[in-house]
Structure 1
Amino acid sequence: MSLVRHVVLEPPEEPGRSSRALFVRDRFSIWAFFFTFLWLFRYGLWNAGLIVLALALCIGIFAEIDGLGVTAAILSLLLGIYVALEGPMLRARHLRRRGWRVAAAFQASGRTEAELLYYNRPAEPPRLPPQQKPAPWYSPSRTEPRAGNDQFLGISPAE
């Protein structure tokens, strides 16, 4: 069995690890391949589902033109492949826009192993924002002109 990347998303209203965390597999989804717009509708991706449904209808109309049946079949296949490859990450992006937090991303051979890796990892200390350093050209000690240099930007001070 091969390793698959899992992205763990936590709900916005629960801090820390949650029993409601979602594990999204970043891999080809066979269900999304065969049932493109229905799969998108199932996960609440209404806009993407409507676009895919409109494209599928256009491809169906395109297939009715004499001599373009093979082209339409290839386009339909490509649409299914695209949704199957990008669908899981569209779902994760949709959840992030709704406030879900990405808690972890790791490789696991299945959902059970992904859950074990996520729930049994040690707790991380809260991350502090990085300290900002002042710009290298600004320093409070450099506000006065240097000794021996009475010109500032080529202008002599008024006497």
Structure 2
Amino acid sequence: MTSSYLVLTAPGGTDVTHEKTRVIRDGFTLLGFLFPWLWLLLHRLWLYAIAAFLLQGLGGVLMDRPGLWPAGFAITLGTCILAGFEGQNLRIRNLASKGWNEEAVITADSLATAEEIYFSNIETDGDRMPAPEWERHPHSAGRHGNTTSLGLFGFNGGR
């Protein structure tokens, strides 16, 4: 089942390692449906979390009153449905209001596939990429052949 994923980059631009780049699935979130105000708190959507908490509290109070159970249930279920279907959109809009840029929209089967598609299309500048450290450590120079393979046999054939 394919989904759309939005790629958001940080306000100051992307860093070399792209650690701040976020890939967010655009669609229904089950945890947002089951635990709306907790899910909203987890994603730092403070005002929406407070509103969801108050609406669910109001729904709970109304369900305890005789004759108002359907109204309370409708308010509680409506809050869950709204958070489940619009929670990811609220996250994206919140980040966009803080200056995050929508870089791309990717259609993929999973988050890992979407990340792989996005990062495979990025051209890297050879000067900007950090170079690995290839220095030799002096303490490991005289230890060739002394390590074992899975603790069974050494590289030189001994046990």
TM-score by length of 2: 0.71
Taking the aligned partners of 2:28 and 2:122, their CA distance within structure 1 comes to 30
Structure 1 gap segments, 5+ residues each: 124-159
1:5 and 2:4 matched? yes
Q: Which residue of 1 aligns with 2:95?
A: 95
Checking the alignment, whether the CA contact within 8 Å between 2:14 and 2:21 is kept in structure 1 is: no
Other structure's SS at 1:40 match? helix
Structure 2 gap segments, 5+ residues each: 124-159
Per-residue deviation at 1:16? 6.9
1:66-145 equivalences under 5 Å are 66-121=66-121, 123=123
1:11-26 equivalences under 5 Å are 11-15=10-14, 18-26=18-26
Per-residue deviation at 1:27? 1.2
Other structure's SS at 1:87 match? helix
Q: Which residue of 1 aligns with 2:31?
A: 31
Listed one character per residue, the Cα deviations across residues 63-118 of structure 1 (whole Å, up to 9, x for unaligned) are 12202223322331221011000000100110111111111112111011101110
Judge which range, 102-111 or 12-21, deviates more. Answer: 12-21
TM-score by length of 1: 0.71
Structure (1 or 2) with the larger CA radius of gyration: 1
Other structure's SS at 1:5 match? strand
